[in-house]
Amino acid sequence: MSPFEMCKRLAAVFSAASLRGASLEAAVLAVSGGPDSLALLLAAQAWRKAERSGRPPIRFYVATVDHRLRPQSAAEAAFVANLCRDFDLPHRTLVWAAPAPAGNLPEEARLARYDLLQTFARRCNAGLVLTAHHEDDQLETHVMRARRGGGPTGLAAMRLVREMTRGIVLARPFLDIPGARLKASVAACGLAAADDPTNRDPAYERVRVRSGFEAGTIDREAVRQAAGEAAEARARLETQLAAVLSEFAAHRILECREDGTIRLKRTALVELGGDLAFHLVRRALAAVSGASHWPEAAGVERILSRLRGIEAAVSATLGGAIVAADDTAEFCREFGRCGIAGQEVADDVTPLLFDGRFEIDVDRWRGSDARLVAFGSLGRGNRRERTLPVLLSAGRLLAVPRSLTRKAPEAAETLSLRSLAEWRLRRDLPR
């Protein structure tokens, strides 16, 4: 790829990100050291050179996520750090300090990676996180989801831009570029990339799918066409859903509340088409749960069937969310057996994001030993109140949301928070 082509693709994702409310003052480049991600460094360099001819200035920060799953990972992060010094770009290694993962290791590592990148972006006041996913990754994702029976939203695979949290967008400028072209561009610049042996390990499904493309047993052009058709189907569905949500909100059929709950009249689900009703319920569950992934489809179908059925009262849980319904279905966060994780009041992140559901102004307490915890961790509150954040220090309540002042009169101050339920419900939908 030429510098002109790289600038053109960055300009496209920057424009799309700005439409999603992302600030274009700074961007984080996710660079692992592999040949694809090194293309991001070349793109940033090309953009900085183009700034002299009218491109808007953007501060670029580079982040390498070290999952500590391979002995070579620390050396690879150091390799990227040294390379960034040559490129005159600030670099930070982000270490996954989570407990030993269990279950689906690639998925856990992926979620951890995006969480680390998002937090780093907030610290840099960056509105964008750029990754080097390319067309090969897109087609492989389509095949894997098709084999699992995915619907149109899954089969459409990755988006050019995706909202990570309010004000921060994940962008993939190379999504229409074959991986071989990126590797050739990096090699032509004399950059020697790091080698990750897991990219050749057939124990991983993605590697097996990649081998199918390389051997010709999977038709690349047919997959490309199917993925494109799925993306068009997703766009049509999401356009319809965005219109439905706006209409429901205007007529108070649907309400997103300050306590992070969502209320929806059940009759609306009966009258709504099956696909739209499914995606509305799935989005509502994900919105109130704070989870970064969709609840499983079969569970959503079961809940939707009950909500559209003749039961006078419905109660169900799925993916960290509770649905309690009579004439109106209320979706709220499930406190759960293990509760909701607390977090320290960080010195360099504002506003603080709690449980993926609330933005909280904690400037007043920065540098203190205060922690944000769920009210339910103190053994207090009803179903909704238990999931709300409160500020605690040495066992003493410092501040609570306004809605809890009667339940916790000993708290000295009011905790200012903003619910992200509505933003999460509408995330990535057309505006």
The domain limits of the chain are 3-227, 252-334, 343-419
H-helix or E-strand spanning residue 139: helix 135-147
In b/e form, how buried is each residue of 70-108, taking b as 16+ CB within 10 angstroms? Answer: eeebeebbebbbebbeeeebebbbbebeeeebeeeeeee
State whether the Cα torsion 325-330-331-334 is positive or negative. Answer: negative
Q: What pLDDT is attached to residue 257?
A: 96
Nearest to 296 by CA among 307, 286, 306, 308: 286
Q: What pLDDT is attached to residue 325?
A: 96
Q: What pLDDT is attached to residue 100?
A: 57
Cα(326)–Cα(396) distance, integer angstroms: 38
Instruction: Record the pTM.
Output: 0.92
Amino acid at 333: R
Q: What pLDDT is attached to residue 22?
A: 92
Q: Which CATH architecture has domain 3-227?
A: 3-Layer(aba) Sandwich (3.40)
Q: Which CATH architecture has domain 252-334?
A: 2-Layer Sandwich (3.30)
Cα(360)–Cα(414) distance, integer angstroms: 11
Exposed, middle or buried: residue 14 (CB in 10 Å: 0-12, 13-18, 19+)? buried
Q: What pLDDT is attached to residue 333?
A: 98
Q: What pLDDT is attached to residue 101?
A: 56
Give the ranges where 20-72 is alpha helix by DSSP (H): 35-50
Q: What pLDDT is attached to residue 191?
A: 87
Q: Give helix then strand counts, H and E, for the chain.
A: 13, 19
Q: What pLDDT is attached to residue 52?
A: 72
Q: What pLDDT is attached to residue 378?
A: 94
Nearest to 86 by CA among 44, 140, 35: 44
Cα(69)–Cα(73) distance, integer angstroms: 7
Task: Supply angle C-alpha 299, 303, 307, rounded to 5.
Answer: 170
Cα(420)–Cα(77) distance, integer angstroms: 34
Q: Would you say 170 and 292 are in contact if contact means Cβ atoms under 8 Å apart?
A: no
Q: Are strands 26-30 and 59-66 parallel, antiparallel or unpaired?
A: parallel
Q: What pLDDT is attached to residue 105?
A: 77
All residue ranges of the chain with pLDDT < 50 are: none
Cα(416)–Cα(362) distance, integer angstroms: 8
Q: What pLDDT is attached to residue 253?
A: 97
Cα(179)–Cα(214) distance, integer angstroms: 12
Cα(222)–Cα(213) distance, integer angstroms: 11
